[in-house]
């Protein structure tokens, strides 16, 4: 479902070009739970941006759900992000002005889902993310970090994406709530068959995934199944 062929990414900086990814080739099948691991500077963030269609590779091909996104422009990439990818970020990025429910409905708005369908879909997503219903009309400021990350997971699920891309989802949480969030991912993977790509630098976070891809200096140095 996800297929990367010799992905290279070169950044131009004042010190000269920096090669962040040096030819990454790997693929992820439907329903897999993969952790991409690496220290900072390993290129995992760059890879996450490319996988998430936030950025394009300098060379190589990236096929997502049968579509070659390598040559797409900004607006086509936005369309892909809107319908195929659900993001979960370390800092949650919830809109403080909107209620929990409206935060989850936001991607549906950009995807052009008719208004009357948005709320039921948002509620279903929140249910899958295991957020108690009493929080639905709360402001994100009024709930705990763990709850906020669940709202973010629900937002990522709302559009029924082919892949959930989580970038250090437990980075801002204490280990206990972090564990709960990771269990939520695990159950989405096991019970709902979601494809999840988890980006992290912590091996005990990566341990929740069924497969670990380890990056170092822009190259894959390890790709193994955990079970």
**Bridge partner residues of 11 (DSSP):** 18
Our CB check for another protein shows the closer of 115 and 176 to be 115
Stretch of 86-94, 188-196, 197-205, 217-225 lying at the interface with another protein (CB under 8 A): 86-94
What would you report as the CA-atom Rg of the chain, rounded to the nearest whole angstrom?
17
Evaluate whether 21 touches 9 at the Cβ level (below 8 Å): yes
Binding to another protein by residue 1, rule CB under 8 A? no
Phi, psi of 143 (to 5 degrees): -120, 165
Residues 13-32: x/- map of binding to another protein (CB under 8 A)?
Answer: --------------------
Tell me the C-alpha distance between 97 and 19, whole Å.
Answer: 40
Which residue stretch of 20-28, 93-101, 187-195, 201-209 sits at the interface with another protein (rule: CB under 8 A)? 93-101
Distance CA 23, CA 28 (A): 16
SS3 of the chain: helix, strand, coil, percent, to 5: 35, 30, 35
Q: Which is nearer to another protein, 53 or 212 (CB)?
A: 53
Nearer to another protein by Cβ, of 54 and 210: the residue is 54
Contacts with another protein by CB under 8 A: the residue count is: 27
d(C-alpha 84, C-alpha 53), whole Å = 10
Q: Which of 27, 93, 137, 175 binds another protein (CB under 8 A)?
A: 93
Distance of CA 134 to the CA centre of its chain: 26
Which residues, numbered 138-167, are part of the site for another protein (CB under 8 A)?
155, 159
Contacting residues toward another protein, per CB under 8 A: 49, 52, 54-55, 74-75, 78-79, 81-83, 87, 89, 91, 93, 95, 97-98, 106-107, 109-112, 115, 155, 159
């Amino acid at each position: 479902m996800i297929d990367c062929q010799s992905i290279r990414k070169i950044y131009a900086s004042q010190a000269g070009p920096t090669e962040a990814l040096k030819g990454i080739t790997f693929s992820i099948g439907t329903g897999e739970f993969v952790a991409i691991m690496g220290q900072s500077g390993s290129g995992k963030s760059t890879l996450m941006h490319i996988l998430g269609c936030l950025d394009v590779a300098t060379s190589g091909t990236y096929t997502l759900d049968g579509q070659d996104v390598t040559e797409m422009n900004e607006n086509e990439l936005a369309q892909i992000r809107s319908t195929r990818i659900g993001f979960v970020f370390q800092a949650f990025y919830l809109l403080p002005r909107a209620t929990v429910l409206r935060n989850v409905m936001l991607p549906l708005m950009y995807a052009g889902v008719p208004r009357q369908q948005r709320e039921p879909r948002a509620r279903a997503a929140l249910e899958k993310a295991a957020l108690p219903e009493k929080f639905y009309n709360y402001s994100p400021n009024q709930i705990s970090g763990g709850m906020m990350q669940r709202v973010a997971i629900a937002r990522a699920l709302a559009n029924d994406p082919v892949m959930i891309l989580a970038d250090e989802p437990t980075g801002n949480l204490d280990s206990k709530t972090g564990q709960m969030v990771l269990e939520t991912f695990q159950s989405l993977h096991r019970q709902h068959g979601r494809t999840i790509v988890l980006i992290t630098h912590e091996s005990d976070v990566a341990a929740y995934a069924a497969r670990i891809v380890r990056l170092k200096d822009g190259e894959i140095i390890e790709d193994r199944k955990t079970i």
